[in-house]
């Protein structure tokens, strides 16, 4: 968390408010979160104005004048714009003082990071170069080719170098809806099974974006508002609850190093 739908929602909410806003000062309370070093980070941002906002996988890219601020939220990062004076969010580690309002970066677990780079270096950035294709822009033929690997489905779909943006929530939800066991070998899927999975991924991500993401821990969008897609979760975080299809208790296991929810009857 946040995954593709959450980061896309943050991007859209910030893009409504921040283009043209000027950064007057940056307060850094946890230096390990920023790159380059704090003094350089502050000096480069001081006087800059927000231009546009992009997303790549789970990464938010904030364009300035000749610079790009990369923000990776990891587990618990939040980026919240407050146009009017208000109490700052808990665990706030950076405060961007703007010509109108403030932008807070908060992070309970402190695993996120913010990196400021020249715009010309964006295409060659090591993190971005390793990312796989966007799932919402991936043709079925290319998706089917990606599945021709001797790896378990869950591990493959979580791998950001294979497909960028899917995380634990949406992999569990899509595999359940597609009727596929998370430990199934990807290369054993028939073309029909692969096409169903591809379509379910499209549908689930689009619906999650429409409902502003899943707030299952501390995720909020760029306005500090929770998402509602967690109300449509069928298996994620529902251990021992009855399967909505067959009534069998939802199982839980560690698969690909992640806590995994699935129906042992519907996902054989």
- Per the annotation, the verdict on 58 as an active-site residue is yes
Number of H helices, E strands in the chain: 7, 11
Measure the CA–CA gap between 33 and 16, rounded to whole angstroms: 26
Is the Cβ–Cβ distance between 258 and 154 less than 8 Å? yes
Catalytic pick from 3, 6, 8, 173?
3
How many Cβ atoms from other residues are within 10 Å of residue 41's Cβ?
Answer: 21
Measure the CA–CA gap between 101 and 50, rounded to whole angstroms: 13
Measure the CA–CA gap between 128 and 121, rounded to whole angstroms: 11
- Whether cis (ω within 30° of 0) applies to the bond prior to 232 is no
Catalytic pick from 2, 5, 135, 182?
2
* Residue 11 falls in which region: left (phi positive, over 0), alpha (psi -120 to 50) or beta: alpha
Catalytic pick from 24, 196, 258, 264?
258
Measure the CA–CA gap between 127 and 119, rounded to whole angstroms: 15
Catalytic pick from 11, 56, 58, 177?
58
Q: Show the tokens assigned to 51.
A: 């231009």
Q: Show the tokens assigned to 61.
A: 């890219």
Planar angle of CA 15, 16, 22, nearest 5 degrees = 70
Catalytic residues: 2-3, 58, 258
């Amino acid at each position: 968390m946040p995954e593709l739908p959450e980061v896309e929602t943050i991007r859209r909410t910030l893009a409504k408010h921040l283009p043209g806003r000027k950064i007057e000062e940056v307060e850094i309370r946890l230096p390990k979160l920023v790159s380059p070093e704090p003094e350089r980070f502050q000096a480069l941002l001081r006087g800059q104005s927000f231009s546009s906002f992009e997303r790549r996988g789970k990464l938010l890219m904030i364009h300035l004048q000749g610079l790009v601020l990369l923000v990776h939220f990891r587990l618990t990062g939040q980026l919240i714009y407050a146009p009017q004076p208000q109490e700052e969010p808990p665990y706030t580690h950076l405060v961007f003082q703007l010509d109108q309002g403030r932008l807070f970066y908060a992070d309970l677990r402190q695993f996120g990071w913010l990196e400021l780079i020249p715009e010309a270096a964006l295409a060659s950035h090591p993190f971005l170069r390793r990312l796989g294709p966007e799932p919402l822009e991936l043709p079925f033929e290319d998706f089917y080719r990606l599945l021709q690997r001797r790896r378990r489905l869950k591990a493959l779909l979580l791998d950001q170098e294979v497909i960028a943006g899917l995380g634990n929530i949406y992999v569990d939800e899509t595999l359940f809806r597609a009727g596929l066991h998370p430990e199934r070998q990807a290369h054993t899927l028939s073309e029909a099974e692969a096409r169903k999975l591809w379509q379910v991924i499209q549908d689930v991500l689009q619906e999650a974006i429409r409902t502003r993401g899943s707030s299952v821990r501390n995720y909020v969008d760029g306005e500090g508002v929770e998402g509602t897609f967690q109300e449509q979760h069928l298996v994620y975080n529902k251990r021992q609850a009855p399967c909505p299809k067959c009534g069998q208790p939802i199982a839980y296991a560690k698969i690909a190093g992640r806590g995994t929810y699935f129906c042992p009857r519907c996902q054989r």
